[in-house]
A = this chain, B = another copy of it.
Amino acid sequence: MGGIDIGIQRIVACMALVLFIVGHILATPQGALVGSRNPTLDNSSEILNFQQYGTPGENNGTYEIENGDVGTADIPTFHWDWEIRDNVPELKTFLIEQEQLQEMSSEIQQIIVDKYEPSDSYNGQRENATFLILCRNDDVFDLLQTLRLLQDRFNHHYNYDFTLLNDVPFTKDFIFLISTFIPRGRLNFGSIPPEHWSYPDHIDQERAMQARLQMDDIPYGNSDSYRHMCRYYSGFFYKHPMVRQYQYYWRIEPGVTFHCDLSYDLFKYMKTHDKKYAFAISLFEYLASIPTLWKSFKKYVNDNIHTLDNFSLQLLPLLQNDDIYESYNLCHFWTNFELADLSVFDNDQYNDFFTYLDNLGGFFYERWGDAPIHSMAVALFLNKSQIHWVNDLGYSHQPYSQCPQETQLYVDNKCTCDPDVDFSFNLLSCTSHFLKVINEDKDSG
């Protein structure tokens, strides 16, 4: 074990490694190494060609182009018999055909995959509800990890539908991976109309670009696509025909984590208790992203309060400080988790409010988020009893988490989060303030 010995040993072992790797390259048959594997998410006409599919088995699945029943004509629909597991080739054929049709068509892509259910399932007792996911094609593996948690912790009991939206068509691989992963229910794969994801005519795009350059120091301050996303969630998602068919939606972001079992139907809870809007986490907005939003909101309230008969404004204290300035406390619901009744937004009053804001240009000249705007809608249009804080889910969207604090609940729901990282009563959270406002109503009413 002397120095010379070690030196020789090192040299020999280094040579050995080089020889091994060279031999390894020469000896391995073509096609078995990473370098020669087909990329799986490319635009070729094959789907997920990491290996060839096995021989197709007998297949009872059928697919057909038919009129969708979701208020829009001619949505291509693939009907999938949930008991058949080997219909991979059939789905592949359908998806390749859809892509070819899409290339020939001026229509935007909308595809429904129906996975049939057994008659003894939860079917029929469910609420009319969907998970709502706006995402990119390359989010697919982050999304799969989130969906596995969602299925495991909640949805395997209920098999609620999924509605996935994208500003570009979903790839075949994306539809294939999500469709094969979710075992039951309906999967809506929708494209967003270009007019809902582009600059409106009144926007000065040069001024918008200058604004982005000046906001480089706040999160997404220089992002164009983030602004379209915020505007889409503020004023358009509820107009999509695939979303509009449902009463409730539960917004999911790829990559979020669910830490606890949810052993009851949260949608049914909303219905039974007449809740319209549920949140998990709240926090303060970056002031630099919304310099003129509050002033604009206040003007709207002042101009419209006497003409709109259902403005109770009992939830205005969620957002407005009790001071002579009637200033904004910067609080908002963190909308990456959001479970709501679509009617909160899909109505003339909210559309009027959104149009007013949109015409001011703050989505592009500043960086108005859908979170403060949804929070303003709640403050304008809802009553205290209609808000629900989901505090038993165990929910993380980096860097913040909600984790149950009650031991028996934590244990019964098989939580895995660290209770000490719970953000709910952190000084940067608005949840204790929100609960105070909501419960004052309860106490006084």
Contact A16 B330 (CB under 8 A): yes
A205 proximal to B (CB < 8 A): no
Q: Which residues of B contact A145 (CB under 8 A)?
A: 416
A27 proximal to B (CB < 8 A): yes
A189 proximal to B (CB < 8 A): no
Compute how far the CA of A331 lies from the CA of B21 in the bound complex, rounded to whole angstroms. Answer: 11
* Partner pick for A17 among B48, B50, B284, CB 8 A cutoff: B284
A interface residues, how many (CB within 8 angstroms): 79
Compute how far the CA of A121 lies from the CA of B230 in the bound complex, rounded to whole angstroms. Answer: 50
Contact B51 A411 (CB under 8 A): no
A104 proximal to B (CB < 8 A): no
A144 proximal to B (CB < 8 A): yes
Contact B416 A144 (CB under 8 A): yes
Cβ < 8 Å to B, chain A residues 387-445? 405-408, 410-412, 414, 416-420, 422, 425-427, 432-433, 436
A141 proximal to B (CB < 8 A): yes
How far does the Cβ of A306 sit from chain B's closest Cβ, in whole Å?
Answer: 25
Q: Which residues of B contact A308 (CB under 8 A)?
A: none
* Partner pick for A152 among B152, B426, B427, CB 8 A cutoff: B152
Measured CB to CB, the nearest residue on chain B to A412 is B85
Contact A28 B291 (CB under 8 A): no
A213 proximal to B (CB < 8 A): no
For the complex of A and B, list the 5 residue pairs with the smallest distance between their C-beta atoms, beginning with the closest. A16-B327, A144-B416, A20-B329, A180-B411, A141-B418
Contacts A28-B432, A51-B405, A147-B416 known; list 9 others, CB within 8 Å.
Answer: A6-B292, A9-B294, A12-B325, A19-B327, A20-B433, A25-B427, A50-B406, A141-B418, A180-B411
Q: Which residues of B contact A416 (CB under 8 A)?
A: 141, 144-145, 147-148, 181
Residue of A1, A13, A16, A23 with highest tally of chain B CB at under 10 A: A13
Contact B414 A39 (CB under 8 A): no
Contact B327 A12 (CB under 8 A): yes
How far does the Cβ of A268 sit from chain B's closest Cβ, in whole Å?
Answer: 23
Compute how far the CA of A84 lies from the CA of B51 in the bound complex, rounded to whole angstroms. Answer: 48
